[in-house]
Structure 1
Amino acid sequence: MRTVVYPSDSFGCGSFRAIWPGQHLAAAGHDVEVVGPTDRRVRVVMDGHTVKDVLVDADIVVLQRVTHAYMAQAVGVMRAMGITVIVDVDDDLSSIHPSNPAWAVHRPGAGLHSWHNLALACRNASLVTVSTPALLDVYARHGRGHVLPNYLPDMYYGIERIDSDVVGWPGSFHSHPNDPEVVGGAVARLVDEGAEFVMRGDPAGAGRAFGLAQDPPGGGVSVAEWPAAVAALGVGMAPLADTRFNAAKSWLKPLEMSACGVPWVASPRVEYRRLHELGAGVLADRPRTWYRELKRLRESAALRAELSEAGRAVAEGLRLRDHAWRWWEAWQRAVEIDRATPRPQPVGV
């Protein structure tokens, strides 16, 4: 069956959840085509603001983060036409922090994009694939949900790492506006003691959030350069506030550090705990614990080496090339769901 995959973007989300899995499946001989964001081939036929028809050459269509009002309608229309439609979601968009720029884009009433549209698309979909079990309760209460954890492509593995005591956060502050608060004054205290603190991502505003005199060094990094940038950290950190949004976050950030051999300290959110229980990293639930664990790693090259080796061992079992079949399995489940039920009428159009 002809399967066409439409990633939401060519950055992290689109790559991990659609582009790379689709490429692996195509290389394995499946009839899968990945269509980039700038080469869309789905055309909708409109009657005012209502989608009446969809022109697309596929038996199975895979879409990501369907937040546009017309595409949310198109999901139901395609399914009524007999096309199997899978919608992939990697975050709970309905609980984005208001300080995150994505909130203004996706809040209902702001324009044609909203998290209400995503909810509609998921209700109309043959199957909803998600990165964490928590997202099933948000987007797949109808029972047509499937968890596909995030895995890593080969470019994350085998990178030579030069050990150091540099502490770093591989993240951008604008997309994590309230997460630094969980570390309290730990980072500022370490910097006062002589530690070097850096970021991999946009650091604007992070200095104030961590209690520093200025923003730490950092900047944007491309998808291709990201693994090497992460591997250059001596001690990694992954702070996440205890929020509804973060309760559904995947283990991707600490997994990336593990594969790159970076020892890390992270908040005890559900998926971070899951990765830690496999043998990677250290968890910190309060500022004094963050300070203690980061300080221990800064002061002990032996401990850094131990956690680096342990993290690499865990990440070795989480290569995308060994798990890409899970995407095909999920997509075939969607086909079976449609075969077992009458063609539904679109919901909420």
Structure 2
Amino acid sequence: MRIGVLRDEGIVNSLYRAVIPMETLAARGHDVRWDGKTTRAFNVRMLESCDVVYVHRFWDPDGQKLVRHLRSQGVAVWWDNDDDISAVPRESVMYKKSGGVRGAAIVAGMKRMMGLADLVTTPSEVLAERYRAYDLAPVRVIENYLPDHFPNAAARRSAGDTVTIGWTAGLEHGLDLEKLGLRPVLQRLLDVDERVRVVGTGLQLDLRGDRYRHIRGVQLSELAAHNATYDIGIAPLADIAMNRARSDIKVKEYAAGGVPWLASPVGPYRDLGEKQGGRLVPDDRWAEELTRLVDDARARRKLAKRAGKWGKSSTISENVSVWEDGLRTAVSLAGRR
């Protein structure tokens, strides 16, 4: 099948929602054609030659005009979104770009795109339920899956009794850091336990001492090996609307490296647990649960084994059939217009 892919190269999430699955589909024999628009015009001639065009996030008037044209040419349209733009809180670093009046305009554009699409997908059941309530297009959930190389990253655990707690997070998670009061929790661990090291990747945790390290960022191609240096990975989420609509990819990233994880019982994590190599932590129990896992090397080894097994089952090649089914569904629905 010939697939046109429209994604904004500046959106990091498009790696999981477009690049990884579509490259895997190409490896399986599909003819995948890319239009990674940023400021350039759409490659309309190329896109209208496709059986289906997969659109990640575009909702602006130009995107709507393009999709109307593609529909008129008989091209199937599959639209995908993976963030709850309507729920960006005022305190978030994302609010200026996506909140308030601008956010309302974005949601209106998204609804217009859904009304033009033959199929709508999202990695979040919360978003899927909302989109189904709009009753504009068929909606299904397709999870985020890992690149195939992730489970092959060799674990490089801390030496001796040292235990490294790592949090790989975007800047927007500064809100979670503050709402859950995690800075004093992590600082106290560093102050009272010389075994503990803390690494903040992406998000600056602003901890004191030479056993805290901040890394500004890591490329996706290097993320598996980087995460595999953690002894414990954490994924805290404040219980707010935007977080309830997130995907579970963060703990999958930890798990693929055999890293036991601790996460908030919010949104994508609420049904996960020890079977997937981690534990859920209530808001007021982070100090206790971190200390408990730091002290229990046997539990970490047991969880790491389970995490690795789950991580291997969460790669794109293990799950690419759901993306191929999406292709067939979009084309079939387009044929019934």
Aligned length: 325
Q: CA deviation at 1:113?
A: 7.8
Residue aligning to 2:229: 232
DSSP-derived class of the 2:273 partner? helix
Out of 156, 166, 169, the residue aligned to residue 168 of structure 1 is 166
Residue aligning to 2:312: 316
Residue aligning to 2:94: 102
Out of 245, 250, 269, the residue aligned to residue 248 of structure 1 is 245
Q: CA deviation at 1:167?
A: 1.1
Q: CA deviation at 1:267?
A: 0.2
Alpha-carbon separation, structure 1, partners of 2:273 and 2:267 = 10
The answer on whether the counterparts of 2:67 and 2:116 sit within 8 Å (CA) in structure 1 is yes
The answer on whether the counterparts of 1:4 and 1:32 sit within 8 Å (CA) in structure 2 is yes
Root mean square deviation, CA, Å: 2.7
**Counterparts in 2 of 1:105 and 1:43: CA distance versus 1, 3 Å:** farther
Q: Which region of structure 1 is more displaced relative to structure 2, 275-284 or 151-160?
A: 275-284
2:198 corresponds to which letter in structure 1?
F
The C-alpha deviation readout for 1:139-167, integer Å capped at 9, x for no partner, is: 34325111111111122112221223111
Alpha-carbon separation, structure 2, partners of 1:27 and 1:77 = 29
The C-alpha deviation readout for 1:83-120, integer Å capped at 9, x for no partner, is: 21111111111112334343322346559983432232
The answer on whether the counterparts of 1:132 and 1:250 sit within 8 Å (CA) in structure 2 is yes
2:197 corresponds to which letter in structure 1?
E
**Counterparts in 2 of 1:335 and 1:55: CA distance versus 1, 3 Å:** closer
Alpha-carbon separation, structure 1, partners of 2:201 and 2:272 = 21
Alpha-carbon separation, structure 2, partners of 1:188 and 1:134 = 34
Q: How does 1:125-136 map to 2 (within 5 A)?
A: 125-136=117-128
Which structure shows the higher helix fraction? 2
The C-alpha deviation readout for 1:301-335, integer Å capped at 9, x for no partner, is: 22221111110011121111111121121121112
The answer on whether the counterparts of 2:3 and 2:51 sit within 8 Å (CA) in structure 1 is yes
The answer on whether the counterparts of 1:167 and 1:235 sit within 8 Å (CA) in structure 2 is yes
Residue aligning to 1:271: 268
* 2:114 is aligned with 1:118: no
Alpha-carbon separation, structure 2, partners of 1:336 and 1:237 = 42
* 2:50 is aligned with 1:68: no
Residue aligning to 1:337: 333
Alpha-carbon separation, structure 1, partners of 2:76 and 2:62 = 18
The answer on whether the counterparts of 1:108 and 1:115 sit within 8 Å (CA) in structure 2 is no
Q: Which region of structure 1 is more displaced relative to structure 2, 77-86 or 294-303?
A: 77-86
TM-score (normalised: structure 2): 0.87
2:200 corresponds to which letter in structure 1?
M
2:292 corresponds to which letter in structure 1?
R
Alpha-carbon separation, structure 2, partners of 1:4 and 1:99 = 37
Residue aligning to 2:8: 8
List gaps (5 residues or longer) in structure 1.
Answer: 45-52, 342-349
2:97 corresponds to which letter in structure 1?
V
